[in-house]
Amino acid sequence: MFSRSASRTFTQSRQFSSSAARQTKVAVLGAGGGIGQPLSLLLKQNKLVTSLNLYDIRGAPGVAADVSHIDSPSKVTGYPADQLDQALEGVKVVVIPAGVPRKPGMTRDDLFNTNASIVRDLAAAVARVSPEAHLLIISNPVNSTVPIVSETLKKAGVYNPQRVFGVTTLDVVRAARFLSEVTGAHPDECKVTVVGGHSGSTIVPLLSQIAHGKGVKGETYDKLVHRIQFGGDEVVKAKDGAGSATLSMAYAGAKFADALLRGLSGEKGVVTPTFVKSDLFAQEGIEYFSSNVELGVNGVENIHPLGPLSAEEEKLLAACLPDLKKNIEKGEAFAAQS
């Protein structure tokens, strides 16, 4: 099962190393924020990261000075607002959590007006300074920011779809945790492949593909699916105006970055869901889709098909596709007039 391979890859040893890995410089753009700070802390502990460049329009040098005292070998450098280009020099992986988060009552799409231009401008800088970098997009709405980044790189003539990723790992993390709460099984036994996009009804958990998920039925199933799709709202509500998920998102972002870094350094069989340029629903006009993706030395190596779906999952997918299409088109339209 795909989900089984994903679970295997997430728990594999982090000791894997190669000469390529020893050269890996990673940048975090938005490193001073709620996600950026704990994400930087977690990346500092990753053995595959040799240099960590922290950039933000506010506060990155302070975060860098703090994180740099952690006793791991990587070198940490902070860059203030006017040093974006310096922060991007020679980087192999760029993680972008820059932008504004949701407040109660907002959807991820409500963030579009602010975050679209932030992400576009950061992508343009990456295209100029480190055109071969792999871009991990956390800034919401991911369904639209990934197309914006891709179109920006296309305009600059440096687009490679193997190197642009929407980070949907928090949906995978939530699905495993919430399913374990329902079944009593260990979260490691509840690795659910989550496909589609990253907001509300576009999030499609394939519970039927794993043993513990298959048995969940009726009202319990409906509630579990709703919780996986709208789990972010629980955090937005509880934070009561102070933002959205930051700590669980930093964990998820670090987990995805680790998977990519392992793939880039030559490890085989690294498979995890991520939102990428995909042929799976291209015939329906949907150019980007999250499904299990094998990560390797070139980034995206192989996009897995969805596998067998239950009748319920077919319905979830049918509801996902039109919303996802609209989100993608909105991102593309923004990039076209920029």
| Residues classed as catalytic | 198
**E strand or H helix that includes residue 205:** strand 203-205
Q: Which amino acid is at 28?
A: V
Decide: helix, strand or coil at residue 75: strand
Which residues, in sequence order, are CB contacts of 46 under 8 Å at separation 6+? 14, 74, 254, 257, 258, 261
Decide: helix, strand or coil at residue 100: coil
Decide: helix, strand or coil at residue 37: helix
Is 265 annotated among the ligand-binding residues? no
Nearest by Cα to 140 from 204, 262, 254, 232:
232
Is 62 annotated among the ligand-binding residues? no
Q: In angstroms, give the least distance from the CB of 39 to ligand NAD.
A: 8
Euclidean distance between CA atoms 161 and 134, whole angstroms = 10
Q: In angstroms, give the least distance from the CB of 98 to ligand NAD.
A: 3
Q: In angstroms, give the least distance from the CB of 64 to ligand NAD.
A: 13
Nearest by Cα to 150 from 140, 141, 138, 162:
162
Q: In angstroms, give the least distance from the CB of 141 to ligand NAD.
A: 8
Q: In angstroms, give the least distance from the CB of 320 to ligand NAD.
A: 16
Which residues, in sequence order, are CB contacts of 202 under 8 Å at separation 6+? 143, 196, 320, 323, 324, 327
Decide: helix, strand or coil at residue 311: helix
Euclidean distance between CA atoms 136 and 272, whole angstroms = 14
110 vs 189 by CB, closer to ligand NAD: 110
C-alpha distance across the termini of the chain, in Å: 42
Which residues, in sequence order, are CB contacts of 18 under 8 Å at separation 6+? 265, 266
Q: Which residues bind ligand NAD (CB under 6 A)?
A: 29-30, 32-36, 56-58, 97-102, 111, 115, 118, 122, 138-140, 142, 167, 170, 198, 243-246, 249
Nearest by Cα to 92 from 20, 35, 161:
20
Is 296 annotated among the ligand-binding residues? no
21 vs 204 by CB, closer to ligand NAD: 204
Query: Which tokens hold the place of 153?
Result: 């790189």
159 vs 275 by CB, closer to ligand NAD: 275
Q: For ligand NAD, which residue has the nearest CB?
A: 33
203 vs 271 by CB, closer to ligand NAD: 203
Q: Are 199 and 107 in contact (CB under 8 A)?
A: yes
Is 113 annotated among the ligand-binding residues? no
Is 78 annotated among the ligand-binding residues? no
Q: Are 187 and 3 in contact (CB under 8 A)?
A: no
Is 34 annotated among the ligand-binding residues? yes
Query: Which tokens hold the place of 84?
Result: 């974006």
Is 33 annotated among the ligand-binding residues? yes
244 vs 278 by CB, closer to ligand NAD: 244
Euclidean distance between CA atoms 234 and 238, whole angstroms = 6
Is 249 annotated among the ligand-binding residues? yes
Q: In angstroms, give the least distance from the CB of 317 to ligand NAD.
A: 20
32 vs 200 by CB, closer to ligand NAD: 32
> Residue positions in the annotated binding site for substrate?
102, 108, 140, 174
